[in-house]
C-alpha cells in the first residue's frame, strides 16, 4: 500500500488520493497557489498556515471549489480572476 494524500475535490470535501496535489491553498482565505509560493512558504516558516492548508489535484478543481488564485505566485491568473470578478459585480 503506497502513500496517500488528502486532497480537496470540486465539492470542497477532502478525499484520499494516491497522487500528490499540484496546488496548495488556505481554506479560510479561499486562496490557492503553487506549492513553492514564496508567500505561503514564508507563512509556514513563521508558524502559520499549516493547520488550514489544503491541496488540490489541479487549478480547475481549486476554482470549482470556490478558491481564487494567489496574487503572488499566480499573478496572471489572479489578474484574470480579478477582472472577471469586477465584471460580475
pLDDT tens for each residue of 47-82 = 888 899 999 999 999 999 999 999 999 999 999 999
Question: Whole-angstrom Cα distance, residue 55 to residue 23?
Answer: 6
Give the residue with greater pLDDT, 41 vs 87: 41
Question: Mean pLDDT in the chain?
Answer: 92
Q: What is the pLDDT of residue 64?
A: 94
pLDDT at 15: 92
Where residue 25 falls (left for φ over 0; alpha for ψ -120 to 50; beta otherwise) is: beta
Which of 17-26, 42-51, 80-89 has the highest average model confidence (pLDDT)?
A: 17-26
Q: What domains lie within the chain, and their CATH numbers?
A: 5-88 (3.40.10)
Q: H or E stretch including 23?
A: strand 23-26
Report residue 49 as a C-alpha cell.
Answer: 498556515
Report pTM: 0.87
Query: 9 burial class (0-12, 13-18, 19+ CB within 10 angstroms)?
Result: middle
Please state the length of the chain: 89
Amino acid at each position: 500500500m503506497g502513500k496517500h494524500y488528502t486532497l480537496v475535490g470540486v465539492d470542497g470535501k477532502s478525499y484520499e488520493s494516491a497522487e500528490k496535489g499540484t496546488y496548495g491553498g488556505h481554506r479560510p482565505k479561499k486562496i490557492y497557489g503553487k506549492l513553492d509560493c514564496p508567500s505561503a512558504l514564508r507563512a509556514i516558516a513563521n508558524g502559520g498556515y499549516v493547520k488550514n492548508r489544503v491541496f488540490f489535484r489541479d487549478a480547475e478543481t481549486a476554482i470549482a471549489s470556490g478558491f481564487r488564485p494567489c496574487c503572488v505566485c499566480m499573478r496572471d491568473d489572479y489578474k484574470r480572476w480579478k477582472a472577471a470578478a469586477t465584471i460580475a459585480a
